[in-house]
């Protein structure tokens, strides 16, 4: 049974959870939850009045996660290091990443499941002697599929 509009509360973007293979990790920001249907334009020979736009394939953006720089001895950092320190082995080990948007009681309102994810980029914010900020690292993942799952 669908929820009535008056029973639905606007979701807040600051209360979320990130799980990799079921283990929770803290991040300050999540972006890149995008899916796009690529199209192709076909022009019919001899017909200049219109063209056809047909679906081609589904394309996903990269999942971007930001957090404070973590020590090298953490398990997730060790796994990420295998990709970026020249010791890449095949087949590439992938993980499932779940992003849960949480309600005020801490229960998931929506979930996005990114399947077969692996890191493609790691970077830190610029080092700046005039600022007194926490150093943030950015992790970027590619994945094969994403599914949005309502949890209510």
Q: List the CATH number of the domain containing 133.
A: 2.30.110.20
The pLDDT value recorded for residue 104 is 87
- Residue 108's domain comprises 13-150
Burial of 141 (0-12, 13-18, 19+ CB in 10 A): buried
In a domain, 22, yes or no: yes
**Full-prediction pTM beyond 0.85?**
no
Supply the pLDDT for residue 90: 66
In the predicted model, residues of the chain with pLDDT beneath 50 are: 1
Alpha-carbon gap, residue 32 to 55, rounded angstroms: 22
Residue 57 lies in a domain: yes
For residues 61 and 112, what is the distance between their CA atoms, to the nearest angstrom?
13
């Amino acid at each position: 049974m669908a929820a009535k509009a008056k029973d639905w509360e606007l979701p807040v973007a600051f209360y979320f959870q990130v799980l990799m293979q079921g283990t929770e990790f803290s991040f300050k920001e999540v972006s890149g939850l995008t899916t796009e249907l690529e199209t192709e334009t076909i022009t019919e020979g001899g017909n200049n009045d219109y063209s056809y736009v047909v679906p081609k394939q589904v394309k996903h953006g990269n999942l971007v996660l930001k957090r404070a720089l973590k020590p090298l001895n953490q398990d997730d950092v060790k796994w990420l290091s295998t990709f970026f320190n020249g010791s890449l082995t095949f087949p590439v080990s992938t993980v499932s990443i779940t992003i849960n948007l949480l309600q005020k009681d801490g229960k998931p309102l929506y979930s996005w499941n990114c399947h077969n994810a692996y890191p493609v980029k790691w970077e830190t914010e610029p080092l700046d002697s005039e600022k007194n900020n926490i150093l943030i690292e950015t992790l970027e993942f590619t994945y094969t599929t994403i599914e949005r799952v309502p949890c209510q």
